[in-house]
């Protein structure tokens, strides 16, 4: 048994549950209160919990992210919402240079139990400064846990263990997923450590996360109609990365395509490919492949934006090329 719910509503339910369960939890960010959130995730929470716990902030990511980190050090459990991943760059110093490093710098005396949520990804015609996928950058940093929920189950379930983590957790919500609906089981269980096999297969591993997961699943359906069995791996957690699930899939399928919205150069896709090369090279029957965004700022025009992003036909073509080069 279960129920149908949107990704947006699943996130709101998770926030409400956290606020009800622990008086130390509060939400802060631009427009999270009176406006109900830029993506309507926090709609109604101000009326339910009041302005002390649903706090609208000035338009200063450097300031309010730093304040959230200070609140976490002071014993609170803040959930900081940044409107879009591009704007998180204004808060790189408190996130990377303070939150991620303070446990190390204090010799284990302090931890920073802050959760930072932000929208990521493109596909909405909001132009280059609101459309990037920088979660791979943050996954580079020791001291951070990086989560990328791509299902309603993960949207509903990842916040609770994130708040229980003594160290900073970053949650990246792809903006194209907010309207997505799915079935939420009554007995769902979510961890923030492991990848998930979203579709079993035997010919090729499609390794992806976030907003690219629905595209990879659709590509797998198209490939199945052409006689190719694609296994779809949802990484879900970029740091720490679940190598074991990835390698098990690659060793079974013997071919792999990594699909991400990040740019190709210096990408998280390259990191996944490097790990496969290090750990499962002799299990491969074909070279590794990847489908990434084109090396341009994300365009505003719809047809150009679609052309710049990974799409189902690109994924299918990459797999077919791979199958053609395999033994």
Kind plus residue range of the DSSP H or E element containing 205: strand 204-208
Annotated active-site residue 140? The verdict is no
User: How many angstroms separate the CA atoms of 298 and 150, rounded?
Assistant: 21
Question: Rounded to 5 degrees, what are φ and ψ at 178?
Answer: -55, -35
User: How many angstroms separate the CA atoms of 267 and 139, rounded?
Assistant: 11
Annotated active-site residue 130? The verdict is yes
Beta-bridge partner residues of 173: 119
First to last CA, the chain: 44
Residue 123, preceding peptide bond in cis (omega within 30° of 0): no
- 17, 48, 52, 130: which one is catalytic? 130
Count of residues making up the chain = 327
User: How many angstroms separate the CA atoms of 275 and 238, rounded?
Assistant: 13
User: How many angstroms separate the CA atoms of 310 and 291, rounded?
Assistant: 6
User: How many angstroms separate the CA atoms of 22 and 319, rounded?
Assistant: 47
Packing angle, helices 312-325 and 213-225, rounded to 10? 50
């060793």: which residue's tokens? Answer: 251
Query: Which positions ≥6 away from 252 have C-beta within 8 Å?
Result: 202, 205, 231
Beta-bridge partner residues of 196: 234
Pairing assessment for the beta strands 181-185 and 2-6 based on DSSP bridges:
antiparallel
Helix (H, G, I), strand (E, B) or coil at 319: helix
List the structure tokens of 73.
């050090």
Pairing assessment for the beta strands 289-293 and 256-263 based on DSSP bridges:
parallel
| Catalytic sites, residue numbers | 61, 130
């Amino acid at each position: 048994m279960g129920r149908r719910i949107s990704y947006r509503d699943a996130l709101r339910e998770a926030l409400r549950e956290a606020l009800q369960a622990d008086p130390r939890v509060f939400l802060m960010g631009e427009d999270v209160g009176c406006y109900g959130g830029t993506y309507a995730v926090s709609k109604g929470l101000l009326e339910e919990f009041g302005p002390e716990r649903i706090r609208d902030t000035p338009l200063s990511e450097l300031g309010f992210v730093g304040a959230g980190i200070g609140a976490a050090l002071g014993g609170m459990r803040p959930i900081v919402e940044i409107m879009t991943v591009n704007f998180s760059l204004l808060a790189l110093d408190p996130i990377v240079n303070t939150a991620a490093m303070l446990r190390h710098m204090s010799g284990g005396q302090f931890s920073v139990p802050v959760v930072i949520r932000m929208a990521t990804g493109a596909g909405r015609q909001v132009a280059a400064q609101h459309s990037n996928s920088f979660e791979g950058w943050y996954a580079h940093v020791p001291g951070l846990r990086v989560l990328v929920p791509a299902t309603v189950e993960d949207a509903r379930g990842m916040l609770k263990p994130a708040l229980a983590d003594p160290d900073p957790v970053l949650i990246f919500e792809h903006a194209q997923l907010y309207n997505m609906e799915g079935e939420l089981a009554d007995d769902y269980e979510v961890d923030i450590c492991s990848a998930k096999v979203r579709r079993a297969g035997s010919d090729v591993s499609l390794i992806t996360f976030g907003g690219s997961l629905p595209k990879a699943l659709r590509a797998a359906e198209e490939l199945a109609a052409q006689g190719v069995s694609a296994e779809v791996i949802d990484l879900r957690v970029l740091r720490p990365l679940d190598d074991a699930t990835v390698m098990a899939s690659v060793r079974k399928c013997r071919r792999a395509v990594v699909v991400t919205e990040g740019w190709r150069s210096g990408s998280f896709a390259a990191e996944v490919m490097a790990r496969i090369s290090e750990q499962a090279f002799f299990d491969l029957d074909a070279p590794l492949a990847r489908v990434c965004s084109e090396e341009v700022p994300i365009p505003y025009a719809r047809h150009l934006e679609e052309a710049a992003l990974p799409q189902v036909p690109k994924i299918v073509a990459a797999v077919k090329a791979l199958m053609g080069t395999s033994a």
